[in-house]
Amino acid sequence: MNNSLLLHDYWKQLYPELSSQKLDEFLSSLQPRKDDHLPDDWYKDAIVYSLYVDLYNVDFNGLADKLDYIQNLGVNCLWLLPVLESPMRDAGFDISKYDRIRPELLGLAPESTKEDQELVFGSFLKEAHNRGIRVIFDVAINHTSDEHPWFIESKRKVVNEFSDFYIWRDKPNEYLDARLLFKGIEDSNWEKYEDRYYFHRFFSFQPDLNYRNPDVLLAMTRNMLYWQSVGIDGFRADAIPYLWKEDGTDCENLDLTHTIVKFFRAALDYVNPGTLLLAEACQKPKEVVKYLGDNDECHAAYHFPLMPMIFKSIAKGDSQPIRNTLSSDVTPEIGQENQWFSFLRVHDELSLELVYVSEEDRKYIHESYCHNPSWNFRVGEGISARLSELMNRDINKISLAYSIMLTLLGTPVVYYGDEFGKLNDEKYYNEQIKLTGKDDTRFFVRGRIDWDELDANLKDEDNFHSQVYKIISSMLNTRKDHSAFGRGDLDFVNVLNAKGEQENKVLSYFRTHGDEKILVINNLSSEKLVLSNPLPENNLAVLNMNNFLMDDDSIVLQPNGFVWFLVV
């Protein structure tokens, strides 16, 4: 079925009582095209680098100045954390205009035009694309800022075209089974305005959109198509599980939410196939894979449970948490066209939501890594700390975590600053509390880069940041040269210790793609391990390593050491 017919089918599922007139008018305004330079599955070979433009280097001109640094890291995709117009009460996830970038990020005056924006941003995209770097950014599709013109009009007593863009009730007595996502920060999903209430799943200044109104669906689709036309390579679809609401349910992962996502995908494919849709769905893998559909929803999705299990495996010195999480009992197979995205840290907390982490695991990981009570988030359901802080600034543990994440599964995401061991930023945290009025501990993990200080640190071989950078950048550049990491099969292998026993302190696996076969061995423990060579008949070429040596036919890994072999 072609995309036009698909869009009509999805429309009928969402709005069975409506004619297709609005949809037909919408489709008649579209101009299908195909950019030959954009392979449809480019994201499988991506190494993603996530950053805030202003915190990274002031604005897009500053970011353009750092593209060589980013390219030299081995990165070939930028994930721009929220850049759209916003009052910045939630780091830009509270969007007030979907078709405008914040002018200060472009070095423009507040009164600058859309054409001015397209000129500056288009120039940046050209610079990135010339270096082979794709660019994706966040779009919050579940909610807006309460300063969005839609909401300003919607809250007026006079009925207008935006009155039904949000969910208003005279009493807060619907959707009561929807869980409170910001436990400890918000005390209700309903917020009172004058004599009515509006529904929200996140902060009270982020009202949820009403997708029962077809004008909302079309407006959001137009927003994505606009940025596609400007040259964006993809979208991280924020808070995707919550789009459709049904009273008497938990308002998560509902069938018509999937229909909305299918509509977005079909519209983007109708105009220009190859524009990435990345699902941000904090759910169990069996729910997350539904957002990939039959390759008709998102192209890729984050594997949320894998992240905390990496931390658990390192804390316990035991491979089973990771192996169990990636078993078919927990992680279903995905289609050939689809991809998991993996990460250690992002702009949010180390999430321990009970949606995909057991209470036992939540408690263990929290106790193992929340070294400072001020890092607590959502009453124990998260830890707000940078990777280097979580690992107690232990270079070997930081390196081990990256070895696992970069070689184990799918497309990796590197959070800006983690490549040099950036620390928690208390100054930024305190600034943002004053600005937002919310004690959101996630502000610890954000913050600015002082490039002069960093340059000095990187020139000092004995500096902590320099040592972390040397190891991580080496791994990233090795990763980019081997397609098996992004496209290959994953097969766990049992490695024997000197006693001939299976060593569960080791996480080892093959990554195989075509003629390329790579063996990765990670020592999860704080002990020196002497291991039998699992491939004594093969030549093993070292691609990357830390705290490793070969001793005759034995593989010796010092505490938290690792080695990546190319099997020849």
* Mean pLDDT on 231-248: 96
Q: Among 100, 89, 88, which Cα is nearest to 137's?
A: 100
Q: With 60 as the cut, is the pLDDT of residue 383 above it?
A: yes
**CATH code where residue 496 lies:** 2.60.40.1180
**CATH code where residue 370 lies:** 3.20.20.80
Q: What is the pLDDT of residues 198-227, one digit of tens each?
A: 999 999 999 999 999 999 999 999 999 999
Q: Among 108, 110, 50, which Cα is nearest to 82's?
A: 50
Mean pLDDT of the chain: 96
Residue 17 sits in the same domain as residue 133: yes
- In order of 306, 329, 330, 521, the CA distances from 357 in angstroms are 10, 15, 12, 26
Residue 270 sits in the same domain as residue 252: yes
Exposed, middle or buried, 452 (CB in 10 Å: 0-12/13-18/19+)? exposed
Residue 283 lies in a domain: yes
Residue 211: predicted pLDDT: 98
Residue 183 lies in a domain: no
- Over pLDDT 70: what percentage of the chain? 99
Residue 540 sits in the same domain as residue 450: no
Q: With 80 as the cut, is the pLDDT of residue 38 above it?
A: no
Among residues 238, 269, 418, 419, which one is catalytic?
Answer: 238
Residue 319 lies in a domain: yes
Residue 274 sits in the same domain as residue 354: no
Q: Is 481 annotated as catalytic?
A: no
Min mean pLDDT across 136-140, 279-283, 401-405, 562-566 is at 279-283
- Over pLDDT 90: what percentage of the chain? 92
Residue 41 lies in a domain: yes
Residue 208 lies in a domain: no
Beta bridge partners of 412: 342
Q: Treating both helix axes as pointing N-terminal to C-terminal, what angle do 214-230 and 114-130 enclose, rounded to 10 degrees?
A: 60
Residue 548: predicted pLDDT: 97
Centre a 10 Å sphere on the Cβ of residue 318 and count the other Cβ atoms it contains.
Answer: 17
Residue 8 sits in the same domain as residue 40: yes
321/361 Cα distance (integer angstroms): 10
Min mean pLDDT across 70-84, 176-190, 508-522 is at 176-190
Residue 390 sits in the same domain as residue 449: yes
Q: Hey, what amino acid is at 129?
A: H
Q: What is the pLDDT of residues 72-83, one digit of tens each?
A: 999 999 999 999
* Cβ pair 282, 307 in contact under 8 A: no
Residue 195: predicted pLDDT: 96
Residue 298 sits in the same domain as residue 316: no
Q: What is the pLDDT of residues 442-454, one digit of tens each?
A: 999 999 999 999 9
**Of 441, 466, 481, which marks where a domain is finished?**
481
Q: How many CA atoms lie within 13 A of 107 on its CB side?
A: 13
**Of 481, 502, 533, which marks where a domain is finished?**
481
Q: Hey, what amino acid is at 45?
A: D
Instruction: Name residue, tokens 């020139």.
Output: 459
Instruction: Name residue, tokens 């302190």.
Output: 505
Residue 253 sits in the same domain as residue 312: no
* Cβ pair 240, 155 in contact under 8 A: no
Among residues 280, 297, 389, 503, which one is catalytic?
Answer: 280
Residue 75 sits in the same domain as residue 30: yes
Helix/strand/coil (H/E/C) assignment for every residue in 81-116: CCCEECCCCCCCCCCCEEEEECHHHHCCCCCCCHHH
Q: Is 138 annotated as catalytic?
A: no
**Of 414, 447, 481, which marks where a domain is finished?**
481
Residue 549: predicted pLDDT: 94
Q: With 70 as the cut, is the pLDDT of residue 37 above it?
A: no
210/216 Cα distance (integer angstroms): 7
389/386 Cα distance (integer angstroms): 5
Residue 151 lies in a domain: no
* Cβ pair 382, 351 in contact under 8 A: yes
Residue 225 sits in the same domain as residue 239: yes
Range of the domain at 499: 488-567
70/135 Cα distance (integer angstroms): 12
The structural domain count of the chain equals 3
Residue 177 lies in a domain: no
Residue 282 sits in the same domain as residue 412: no
Residue 391 sits in the same domain as residue 520: no
* φ, ψ at 122 (rounded to 5°): -60, -35
* φ, ψ at 512 (rounded to 5°): -130, 130
For the chain, how many residues are written? 568
- Parallel, antiparallel or unpaired: strands 339-343 and 411-415: parallel
Residue 456 lies in a domain: yes
